[in-house]
């Protein structure tokens, strides 16, 4: 079905290029998902995680079943670049839940509510987000997300 759709939209001569581009992007997303699973979910103290591409203003990878609405991704980007003081004072809504700010600086925002918390860490190209629930250790979640952010920073991302 996808091949027929590609042929109809792109024409036969461009089909290979389109498939190649689609496969590369899918591979990158799978590679990022593997990083999220291997470095965050594996700790057992991260419930869900996602990576937001700052320039594209959208989620480029997330753990299985974790959907970040586009407006939430944009709000997190805005929080880092234009709204940090307000986040400190008022907290932040994420997926229709209010989170109180525990810490906010130019690279990290730590938030909590009665059900758990949200960690957001900014690199050059991405905002990494992770959630934890009651019973998980916030400190382990923070450490794992910050280490993954350091990895991206070391790679220039």
Q: What is the CATH number of the domain that holds 121?
A: 3.30.450.30
pLDDT for residue 28? 56
| First vs last C-alpha separation in the chain | 35
pLDDT, residue 157, reads 87
Residue 62's SS3 state is strand
pLDDT for res 85: 95
Would you state the structure tokens that stand for residue 119, as one six-digit string? 């960690």
What does the pLDDT profile of the chain (157 residues) look like in tens digits? 333 333 333 344 434 333 333 334 444 558 889 889 999 999 999 999 999 999 999 999 999 999 999 999 999 999 999 989 999 999 999 999 999 999 999 999 999 999 999 999 999 999 999 999 999 999 999 999 999 999 999 998 8
3-state SS of the chain: helix, strand, coil percent to 5? 50, 25, 25
Domain holding 85, by residue range, is 2-154
- The total of structural domains in the chain comes to 1
């Amino acid at each position: 079905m996808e091949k027929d759709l590609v042929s109809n939209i792109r024409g036969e001569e461009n089909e290979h290029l389109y498939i190649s581009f689609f496969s590369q992007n899918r591979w990158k997303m799978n590679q990022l998902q593997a990083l999220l699973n291997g470095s965050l979910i594996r700790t057992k103290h991260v419930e869900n995680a996602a990576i937001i591409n700052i320039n594209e203003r959208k989620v480029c990878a997330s753990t299985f079943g974790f959907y970040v609405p586009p407006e939430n991704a944009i709000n997190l980007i805005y929080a880092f670049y234009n709204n940090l003081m307000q986040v400190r004072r008022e907290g932040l809504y994420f997926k229709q839940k209010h989170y109180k700010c525990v810490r906010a600086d130019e690279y990290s925002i730590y938030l909590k509510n009665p059900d758990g918390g949200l960690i957001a860490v900014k690199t050059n190209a991405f905002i990494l987000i992770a959630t934890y629930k009651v019973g998980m250790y916030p400190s382990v979640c923070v450490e794992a997300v910050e280490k993954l952010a350091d990895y991206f920073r070391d790679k220039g991302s």
